[in-house]
Structure 1
Amino acid sequence: MITENNIPIDIINITEQMDISKLSKLELLEKCKELGITKSGSKNKLQLIELIGKNKVIEEIPRNTPITPITPITDADTKTFNVIDLFCGCGGMSKGLTDAGLNVIAGIDIWDKAVESYNKNYHHKAYCADLTELPPEKFNELYNMEGKEVDILVGGPPCQSFSIAGKRDKNDPRNALFIEYVKYLDYFKPKAFIMENVIGLLSKKTANGENVIDIIMEQLNQNYNCIINKLYASDFEVPQNRRRTIIIGIRKDLHILPKEPEPIIKSVQDRIAVKSILIPKEDVDKKYYLSEKALAGIENKKGVNKEKGYGFGAQMLDFDKPSYTIPARYWKDGYDALVKYNEKEIRRLTITELKRIQSFPDNYIIEGSNKDIIMQIGNAVACKFAYYLGKYIIDTLTPLTLLTP
């Protein structure tokens, strides 16, 4: 009789493999505990499945009995893509990507307060550094001690400089951050990248009249198949109408053309309303309410703007719709998004509400003064938005893992 590993070929191990291949690593570890399997904590998912398989009872199945095919275990089940988060801020992008199942191995940002906040929330580290002084070779030498492959690069380099300088001013320090981003791409050659920026990037021009986005894409398209997306965070379960430019690139040799991420919320009417994240009125500290002087100022400005045909400066939230975009400048007066109960009771959003609007959990730690905290929140990528971008990248790269021998 033909045997395999001294087991007759007629005797087939049906040790729940068709089920356990679908379990998470945490569930597999629990299964190991049930079976009395020791030293399983350091194993990856594939090794855990093999361990469990060896310890289960072998059950005889008669010859010629049809067998339900076992779901193949692929690298997609066992591999976690490694990510570096450039311009990471306090960690909104990293939070979403981590929740999506990606392995963020490091963040980099120039603002010490943001880095301090980041490091309060993650096991891996963010490094406080100016990218112009931390080339990728130096980063790899100093911080990537385990020599991990970088599969995905994310970040939003400020591209305002191009409106002043132009692509031919390669040595202009105002262009440096985008150039450094490209250097990290060229050095690590990640399978994919996500570049996030303001929607205004698409309409910016240089002093010479060149389109900034054309300059950027000329660089990115050299080694990556790219797609430019104009996405609303509110279409991805974020209670905020935050519109962003998202450039996604997949390395050309992988022969995958990225597609626009599909909105999770298909209808404007189904977007998450800001009322769902507001603190009960009776629990809001009085310090958030506008003074009589501020209220009078809003009314006066409203009248002047109406005469001149300008828009109304202070924006009152519609409780049944997502919030307006929360910018980093919100700390100044909060007029970008105010809660109005009546003409005499108008207030700014609290720190907790601002975090929720950006889909940070309430227990996410953000360090610094009120100004520092609000600036970090306003500068962040909304966590839930980043979560769905992470899921999109995993789904896009999954065909690669299916082809891996």
Structure 2
Amino acid sequence: MVFKNIDQITDKKDKSKLIEKIQLHIRIVQCLSEIHKIVFDKVSSDVKLNTISKIKDIGIISNEDDIIVLQKLINPLFIDFIKSVNFSLLYPKLIGSHLDKLNNKIRLEYQKKEARTSKPTVVDFFCGAGGLSLGFVKAGYKVIFANDHEDVCIDTYSYNHPEVKNTSIVNGDIKDIVNNLEDFINKDADIVVGGPPCQGFSSANQQRIIDDPRNELYKYFIKAVEKLSPKFVVMENVRGMLPYANQIKEDYQNIKSFKDNKNYTYEIDCRVLTSNDYGVAQKRHRLIFIAIRKDIGLQFNVSPSDILNNIVSTKDNNEQFHLSDALNFIKELEANRKKNTNELDSEVSGKKVEVNSYTGTENSYLLSINENRTMPIIFNHKARFVSDLNFDIYRLLNQGDDATNEKIVHLMPYAHRNNVFKDKYYKLIADRPSRTITAHLRMDCHSHIHPFQVRSITPREAARIQSFPDDYVFLGAYLKTYMQIGNAVPPLMAKVIAENIIKYL
């Protein structure tokens, strides 16, 4: 569940996660009170029987005595948290579904409902923040297992996928999971998806990728396929893996899976797909492998090449979007100029949770990523710290300018290494698809300078460029939100892939 019971809070990390979600609860309610012109501070902070009952439903406490423990643990947030709970009891219609993801009882109802469906099933390894899963869910699948080794990614994934059982979202090493797969997955998986890192790029006719010790995680992904015998596999990786695609194909063709007294083998193919061909406001190249269990291929007379060709053919029917489509209709911010304050909210540089100045439906791109839903609250829209030197560089560059531009020669700290740091500074071009959003943004955002405002892009803007909806919340430390977003597969591109497979399930 999204909340641990207070009895299970055993260390600083657990406490930090509890506080972050309680702050989220408070801020969502405060935003709704502002939207509906109700004074939040006038709401009662009395702990009544129905207040206690509600906090039990949320999942933080199990009895009345736990309230005292909670008060000690989360002070000075306690009073505002009680007010936010009482507000939700006073104005349930105004709250609507905004707090559903922060309520263990409601999440359990979602999970029971999902369990009764007959949707095709997905297992997602290296799930990250959930981009691939989100695309497949939007295309009509249900996730029965997700795994990642980064605990912050698991927190984000779990929060945003309330329909997936908590026990089916596992933070851990894939090696431990695959070696004990029956302890985690007890249902048939129609499709296994994931992006295992492949770091040891071998030359042709030399050591194969699966044998390189640096690619152990990839090897375990293959082993998971072998154990689960899914009907389909979707594996994504960087375009730089293309020269080694034949090695990967060979690995899949060597899979011999045994399930239900039957032997299964696989056929596989791959293509480099570019995200802006599939409704994403970003030019991101990904190498996509699709494998089909041969009995399914024969049953439907379909090959991986057929499916990949179908995916490619859809691009002519998809609307093309530019960076400006993602960056428009969101509050203008100024760069944070105070060092070590990225975690702090500010009226000028933005807040983690804030009333949206717009509806999230103003253009066709926002309608697409938000699925025609209005977004009264915006998340993760905070401008990061920028030094005086970098502020001047940002200010002087025009769209499309990079670190070699003569306007900043007198400022460039890396001028003697322009061959290495040419892209160190780059101002994005508004009327083109964005350059690739990467996990490096966690380190700095100089490569993604806002085209009109003197700052780098915010996590929310990066998420929009990746095609995440505006209510997809990225949990964890501020800089880690960039990592989560940059590592994700764009959900809209994942959805197109999923839609072209589901017809065979």
The TM-score, its normalising length taken from structure 1, stands at: 0.69
Equivalent of residue 227 in structure 1, options 269, 280, 302: 269
Equivalent of residue 92 in structure 1, options 124, 131, 139: 131
- In the alignment, structure 1 segments of 5+ residues that lack a partner are 1-40, 46-77, 204-211, 399-405
**Quick check: 1:323 aligned with 2:439?**
no
Residues of 2 paired with 1:309 and 1:189: CA distance?
45
Residues of 1 paired with 2:114 and 2:478: CA distance?
44
Q: CA deviation at 1:170?
A: 6.7
- SS of the aligned residue for 1:154 comes to strand
**Quick check: 1:266 aligned with 2:300?**
no
> Partner of 2:176 in structure 1?
133
Match of 1:286, as an amino acid? A
285-294 or 126-135: bigger deviation:
285-294
Residues of 2 paired with 1:169 and 1:312: CA distance?
30
> Partner of 2:279 in structure 1?
237
Equivalent of residue 339 in structure 1, options 442, 446, 450: 450
Cα separation, partners in 2 of 1:225 and 1:313, compared to 1, 3 Å = same
- SS of the aligned residue for 2:430 comes to coil
Equivalent of residue 495 in structure 2, options 383, 387, 390: 387
> Partner of 2:10 in structure 1?
none
**Quick check: 1:257 aligned with 2:303?**
yes
> Partner of 2:390 in structure 1?
294
Equivalent of residue 284 in structure 1, options 326, 329, 333: 333
Q: Deviations over 1:137-187 (max 9, x none)?
A: x122x223xx311110000111113449x7469776422111111111111
- SS of the aligned residue for 1:249 comes to strand
> Partner of 1:248 in structure 2?
290
Cα separation, partners in 2 of 1:295 and 1:93, compared to 1, 3 Å = same
250-259 or 321-330: bigger deviation:
250-259
Q: How does 1:4-403 map to 2 (within 5 A)?
A: 79-122=118-161, 123-124=163-164, 125-135=168-178, 138-140=180-182, 142-144=183-185, 147-163=186-202, 167=207, 173-203=213-243, 212-222=244-254, 223-254=265-296, 255=298, 256-258=302-304, 259=306, 260=308, 261-266=311-316, 271-279=320-328, 283-287=332-336, 288=383, 290-296=386-392, 298=403, 299-300=408-409, 301=412, 304=415, 311-341=422-452, 345-395=453-503, 397-398=504-505
Contact between 1:305 and 1:312, CA under 8 Å: does it hold in 2?
no
> Partner of 2:101 in structure 1?
none
Cα separation, partners in 2 of 1:366 and 1:143, compared to 1, 3 Å = same
Q: CA deviation at 1:262?
A: 2.5
Q: CA deviation at 1:336?
A: 2.5
Residues of 2 paired with 1:354 and 1:86: CA distance?
23
Q: Which has the higher contact order (CA 8 A, sep 6+)?
A: 1
Higher alpha-carbon Rg? 1
Q: CA deviation at 1:346?
A: 2.9
Q: CA deviation at 1:103?
A: 1.3
- SS of the aligned residue for 1:244 comes to strand
Residues of 1 paired with 2:212 and 2:420: CA distance?
40
Q: CA deviation at 1:281?
A: 7.7
- In the alignment, structure 2 segments of 5+ residues that lack a partner are 1-111, 255-264, 337-382, 394-402
Count of paired positions: 309
> Partner of 1:30 in structure 2?
none
- SS of the aligned residue for 1:161 comes to coil
Match of 2:272, as an amino acid? K
- SS of the aligned residue for 1:97 comes to helix
Contact between 2:232 and 2:293, CA under 8 Å: does it hold in 1?
yes
Match of 2:176, as an amino acid? E
Contact between 1:86 and 1:154, CA under 8 Å: does it hold in 2?
yes
The TM-score, its normalising length taken from structure 2, stands at: 0.56
Cα separation, partners in 2 of 1:143 and 1:378, compared to 1, 3 Å = same
Contact between 2:210 and 2:218, CA under 8 Å: does it hold in 1?
no
Match of 1:96, as an amino acid? G
Residues of 1 paired with 2:323 and 2:114: CA distance?
43
Match of 1:322, as an amino acid? P
Q: CA deviation at 1:266?
A: 2.2
Cα separation, partners in 2 of 1:116 and 1:303, compared to 1, 3 Å = closer
Cα separation, partners in 2 of 1:331 and 1:175, compared to 1, 3 Å = closer
Contact between 1:237 and 1:264, CA under 8 Å: does it hold in 2?
no
Residues of 1 paired with 2:322 and 2:128: CA distance?
26
Contact between 2:249 and 2:269, CA under 8 Å: does it hold in 1?
no
Cα separation, partners in 2 of 1:326 and 1:309, compared to 1, 3 Å = closer
More helix by share: 2
Cα separation, partners in 2 of 1:103 and 1:308, compared to 1, 3 Å = closer
218-227 or 306-315: bigger deviation:
306-315
